[in-house]
């Protein structure tokens, strides 16, 4: 079964939203206090939740268009690459050689899973 390009695009956008969601969860956790309310009323955490709702909507839309699990889920693994790049940009977290190797393996895995 061929996966439509729109499904692949939906999953790429979902991977970017997933990375943003991770960033907002971390930013929200850094700003939160010790009470439950500091989590529930935390705008950054709520933005992170909204990002993940967007991810799920894009997943459903991609599958409705005829996307294949074996093609699409490896694409979503790019979330880890986007998160590393976002951490570098926002927090100055270095990307080491081992991280680059892991990213390369993710990309190779996506290629082989999609074939």
In degrees rounded to 5, what are phi and psi of residue 98?
A: -65, -35
Parse the chain into domains and list their residue ranges. Answer: 5-114
Q: What is the CB-side half-sphere exposure of residue 93 using CA atoms within 13 A?
A: 12
* DSSP summary character for residue 3: P
Task: Compute the average pLDDT of residues 23-43.
Answer: 88
The segment with the largest mean pLDDT, out of 3-12, 46-55, 67-76, 99-108, is 46-55
* Residues sharing a CB contact under 8 Å with residue 78, sequence separation 6 or more, in sequence order: 12, 15, 106, 107, 110
Task: Compute the average pLDDT of residues 12-30.
Answer: 94
Task: Compute the average pLDDT of residues 82-111.
Answer: 90
- Confidence label for 1 from pLDDT (cuts 50, 70 and 90): low
Average pLDDT score over the chain = 90
């Amino acid at each position: 079964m061929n996966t439509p390009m729109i499904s692949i695009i939906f999953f790429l956008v979902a991977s970017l939203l997933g990375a943003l969601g991770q960033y907002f969860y971390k930013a929200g956790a850094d700003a939160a206090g010790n009470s439950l309310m500091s989590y529930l009323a935390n705008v950054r955490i709520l933005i992170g939740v909204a990002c993940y709702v967007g991810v799920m909507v894009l997943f459903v839309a991609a599958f409705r268009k005829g996307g294949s699990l074996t093609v699409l889920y490896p694409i979503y693994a790019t979330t880890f690459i986007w998160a590393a790049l976002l951490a570098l940009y926002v927090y100055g977290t270095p990307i080491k050689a081992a991280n680059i190797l892991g990213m390369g393996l993710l990309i190779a895995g996506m290629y082989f899973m999609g074939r």
